A = this chain, B = another copy of it.
């Protein structure tokens, strides 16, 4: 049972340790989230007297999805994507539309085909291969977004393409997952109608929110601000934060409800307020809330990793090949997508977009969990997919920050060096 003191202790211990690990890793020039993931892996896998640290600390983590840690972790990524949405204006997103779409599309097709082919050939399990392929398709915009935000490069062309492509990729990924689940559920046969409904819901949701952001919200916000400015009772100050928080929670729930990920809803909700985020101080407020929650997400990602599953040569070989496939397929797929859309794109931009889409993060892990829960994935392949998601998440940020620096930071840091 989680009492108030144990909740407070868990929050303090995880928050303080995560921030300490984060600060240490940053000292070596890597993004802090790697330190937080490593902390999670250590807590789940360092065993003292046959008891893991996470059990010793009584963190109620891992598979127990009811725990406070899990809730904080999910809210962390929801608020992170909300704040990314706040910095993504609809007109900018539509501006990078064709390139982003091609990046996302090839970033879905190439990893899916390569992942499916590898498992089908090596293991011969059709359904497992489909699930691994679906997990390979995912892109965790959260990881890349944090690197970009930490480097303060949100306004660069490549950043916008990556973020936009990652959102399109999420939608495509959910469709792929729905197809895979449909095939797995019906033992080979696929219900075309169900598939069309999933695609339709996703498209209507995204296009609907974008239309709302472009035409509906400006009127609503204007009315809200003027109402609150007029009545100056002693108990009331105009505060768009309340409206923004409600919208974030609502759209995150709505996305889950229609079969998409909560983070897609949160991101779109952020876009609704993007035109007002700077002037109202909303960006700063949401960043403050994200600061409280986000470390729990990355620690939770690390907690999912069971190092013990990799105790034989076959498992180690399999995980190494799959990690390589995951990195290469995304890098080539997304880079080629950008190249096809714009032949003049530089090699540096190719690298940034290719590596920016590599991290699978929570999306890959969620797909792995669905596969495990539905009995399609066995425990070993599940751990392999989680390891792939974590490895791509750890590998990508330092590479991304280095390719970003090669293009943008040389002259920016010129004066200091």
Contacts and interface: CB of A to CB of B under 8 A. Distances in A.
A5 B233 CA distance: 36
B65 A3 contact: yes
A111 to B, nearest CB: 25
A31 interface: yes
A274 to B, nearest CB: 19
The range of chain A's interface size is: 35 or more
Contact of A12 (B12, B151, B249, B289): B249
Interface in A224-252: 231-236, 239, 241-242, 245-246, 249-250, 252
A404 to B, nearest CB: 9
A374 interface: no
Interface in A14-62: 15-16, 19, 23, 26-27, 29-32
Given A5-B256, A8-B249, A66-B66, 7 more contacts: A3-B65, A12-B250, A16-B250, A26-B233, A27-B231, A151-B235, A239-B291
A162 to B, nearest CB: 17
A193 interface: no
A73 to B, nearest CB: 10
A13 to B, nearest CB: 9
Contacts of A232: 416
A8 B246 contact: no
B19 A241 contact: no
A285 B23 CA distance: 21
Contacts of A233: 26-27, 29
A2 interface: yes
